[in-house]
Structure 1
Amino acid sequence: MFSIDISVRPALAADRAAVERLWLMFRHDMSEFQGQLPGPDATFRSERLESAFADPGWAAYLVTSADRPAGFAFVRGLDGPLRVLNSFFVVRGARRAGVGLRAARDVVARHPGPWEIAFQDANPGAVAFWRRVATELAGTTWTEERRPVPHLPEAPPDVWISFTTG
């Protein structure tokens, strides 16, 4: 395994175009597990992207390596008692090098308290990754449960991991 130096910082308005491109890569990856196609303009739904940059209680983070975009994280619930890692992505060229774990650790450390992270059982990489993240951050004190996807009763349930930090 190789190692990549990374940094995680709040995404600025000037980063918006790069994060939008990363978002398309993320949604493309997720389409394999959710069976979704892009719209007629070849883009995917972007409500979470919009919220991450505009809504109170949300934060967008950009993961970089040598000043090049390597991923992002969107957090919601910062104005309430529970933080949710709403969207998280690392480009394929940076995966399996510890980038995701380091980025997740950095983002969670910025907002101590209770956390929830959702992923799909059909994505074996995500299953292993998020269980490892939870164990790294919370030891054995994390929980996992399946919940129906809101407004999509035909979809398989999401897996939710919950834990508390600092």
Structure 2
Amino acid sequence: MPDVSIRLAGIADRPVVERLWLMFRHDMSELDALLPNPDGTFRNNDRLRMAFSDPGWAPYLLTRGDSPAGFAFVRGLTNPTRVLNSFFVVRGARRTGIGLRAVQQVTAIHPGPWEVAFQDVNTAAVHFWRRVATEIAGNAWTEERREVPGRPDLPPDVWISFGSPAETYG
């Protein structure tokens, strides 16, 4: 498997994570047909802000060597179930195993119940998250569709739930 490192992103990492966030939102814009704001940013920077400011959240930076390779935002740290709120791997590192390895490492840091949401229209995410759940939890994971709160105009999100043991993925 390829080498990937994850670390809790600090304030010094925020500019890098913000640039990765723009790439993430750009990728997602293909699925939801959204254009950037007039200043070139995308809507929904709340998750980025919360990841760095809310004590119940944790932003992780994924790196490969000296290069940033993606990020993972975890929320619900003070709840019984953690949520992998946002997850992104840059295109040049996709389909190399880095994503799986990063999720294994992040979930091992916070063992216990996990949930992740994605949309059916994002076929790559559908396959990826089912594989991740199986690699981490075997057959002990579930999938359900949930309405998007406050957005009856959107199709339901797909939610995968699984448990993560406390392990080190070296």
TM-score tier (shorter): over 0.9
Other-structure match for 2:73: 74
The DSSP-based 3-state class of the residue aligned with 1:64 is: strand
The DSSP-based 3-state class of the residue aligned with 1:114 is: strand
Q: Partners in 2 of 1:36 and 1:80 — Cα distance?
A: 32
How large is the Cα RMSD of the aligned pairs?
0.9
Other-structure match for 1:18: 16
Change (3 A) 1:96 1:43: same
Other-structure match for 2:101: 102
Q: Partners in 1 of 2:98 and 2:135 — Cα distance?
A: 14
Task: Output one character per residue of 1:64-120: Cα deviation in whole Å (capped at 9) or x when no partner.
Answer: 011110000000000111100000000000001001000011000100111100011
Other-structure match for 2:137: 138
**Unaligned runs of at least 5 residues, structure 2:** 166-170
Other-structure match for 2:26: 28
Alignment of 1:109-148 (within 5 A): 109-148=108-147
Other-structure match for 1:49: 48
The DSSP-based 3-state class of the residue aligned with 2:135 is: helix
Q: Partners in 1 of 2:19 and 2:12 — Cα distance?
A: 13
Deviates more, 1:144-153 or 1:97-106: 144-153
CA contact (8 A) 1:144 1:160 kept: yes
How many matched pairs?
A: 164
Deviates more, 1:75-84 or 1:31-40: 31-40
Q: Partners in 1 of 2:65 and 2:159 — Cα distance?
A: 33
Alignment TM-score, normalising by the size of structure 2: 0.94
The DSSP-based 3-state class of the residue aligned with 1:102 is: helix
The letter of the residue matching 1:101 is: L
- In the TM superposition, structure 1's runs of 4+ consecutive aligned residues that sit over 2 Å from their partners are none
